C-alpha cells in the first residue's frame, strides 16, 4: 500500500533508503502527470505487513523534512 507520495524524486529516494536501512522492502512507483499537474508523482509503497513497522520511520522522516531551513 502507498505510504507516501511526492513530486520530488530525491525526497522519495531518501525515504526509500531510510526504510531499506531498517530491513523493509519499499518500492517506488512513478505516476505520469495528470492533466493540469506540474509533473510526475512518485509514490512509496510497502507490502501491507510492513506498514506498521514503517509508520514510526515515516513520522521521523516527515518531521525531519518539515524543518524550516535556518
In tens, the pLDDT along 17-52 reads 999 999 999 999 998 766 776 788 999 999 999 999
Owner of C-alpha cell 508523482: 41
pLDDT value for 35 = 73
pLDDT value for 46 = 97
Q: Taking the complete model, does pTM exceed 0.85, yes or no?
A: no
* Total Cβ atoms within 10 A of residue 9: 14
Amino acid at each position: 500500500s502507498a505510504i507516501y507520495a511526492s513530486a520530488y524524486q530525491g525526497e522519495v529516494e531518501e525515504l526509500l533508503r531510510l526504510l531499506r536501512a531498517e530491513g523493509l522492502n519499499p518500492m517506488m512507483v512513478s505516476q505520469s502527470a495528470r492533466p493540469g499537474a506540474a509533473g510526475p508523482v512518485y509514490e512509496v509503497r510497502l507490502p501491507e505487513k510492513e506498514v506498521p513497522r514503517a509508520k514510526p520511520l515515516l513520522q521521523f522522516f516527515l518531521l525531519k523534512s518539515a524543518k524550516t531551513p535556518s
